[in-house]
Structure 1
């Protein structure tokens, strides 16, 4: 009888600062789209929200030919590499294209790679109850690596040194994972920790302000979700290319509304245009001010793989969990 693989939401991590511990392994935090690869007689890649990404990345549709002991589920990240480093802007340009002919052309000029860092099912049997160290061994034994499929490498114990090394080469950050951690689908666990070189957040666009001169878009109004309400966290007015500005305005004009989803402070905005809280964007920033505003934010791109309600205020605070 054919074994049916379940739909799984990926395990999530908490934010943290660099630390050393012999109980953890450390690997690169890849700047891409999180994806679960279902490998049977064909390949299906689902996003963290169970959205099917397979058609957008035709160059990854043969991953099932690169693994043994099928059916298999791999957890990993879809990236577009540029001189060996992930380029989120190039990935984003791939992810928002639906036209099949353009998709096929982009697959040749900007090919994506699936970087696998965990194995959840092997031979149709769940491995999520096994410790991470054992799953890592199984992953390396199962995957035949190539340009389209890479197994993420890692180091033991030396998180601070590894974080510094990753920072020097311009990568986003590292992941710290307990060697004995079990895989808990859809849950954010202290056994997995994300350590970013630059503070990054996924936030929801609640409105925008017009620009001056040649700039049609001045700034985006950003909110996040907290206890059932939308909370204002600031505006971002840098990081847009001219093409991205045009794309954003097209998207924003389709979701116009007449009232803000939060209560604006008097004098905070200049002729704002409000939108429904449907678009998620990624923003880098230096810190959060005492009144809850982002300092020195910079727009990085839209995140079609994230739901607005997932963009909570918790991501703006660094965890103070024990280091080991």
Structure 2
């Protein structure tokens, strides 16, 4: 079978992985099927489990094919262990469907390290990309922004950062609908002399590149959520720490608010008055509303859902996959790379000041 992006995009869905279970995954696929009438699915997992769930969702059943596999990658499995079992697992078989051209994108809520290792091994990196990067959409004060890398690469040189910027901008043009996204490198200061040599060398290349983006220099960690930057670029070590810190701070603030509102009768009255605004805040910060991280830079699309995402959250991740397929984000990245002088990025970076 050969995929046909102009007719019916096909999503390879890893039904068995993730913490929510097969029932939530099937429900998510039906939500996505309603949102995208041309979307169809290959459902990877235990046939008896999937078939029993599909009885509840006739719309999805008419547009889905079950691919049976007994084995499932666990959340605690090491990437090396997962690679050895790739051919027999729901995760590995979903990725292989993209490699073979049977699906346009794979979606999984499973083990991130295993998914990254399997995807890289099966699909390899695109020409002109040294390393893939994990990109995701995050809430901001104004709307949403894209951040990468979120953990795929703990150490990056200037070339990697430039490539991440190109991929992140292409991703933002697709998922955020921006013609010229504002791109910045995460740094310890906004001044040109701040940061490591790699960061400053990457900034010099991006300033002179002809790309469909607006490079605005450096952004500090406390400005990530301001909404003044559309794409935040960093190495996976800093990016993972930054996003986990932001998630923890969000839980801290909502927890403190909850404690304050429950502390007294006046707090409960205040909650009643501000209930609408608080519900709006909760919805804006809900991880399910921003679900769907992407391994950019591979010869195929793989979308990572939060392991504990509910049906609505996983449906949003499937929606991200649909949009990237429809907008041919891989072609965008290839075209944009042609406007970058990578020779400058590979030159020796100056020492940090």
TM-score normalised according to structure 2 size: 0.28
TM-score normalised according to structure 1 size: 0.30
Quick check: which one's helix share is greater? 2
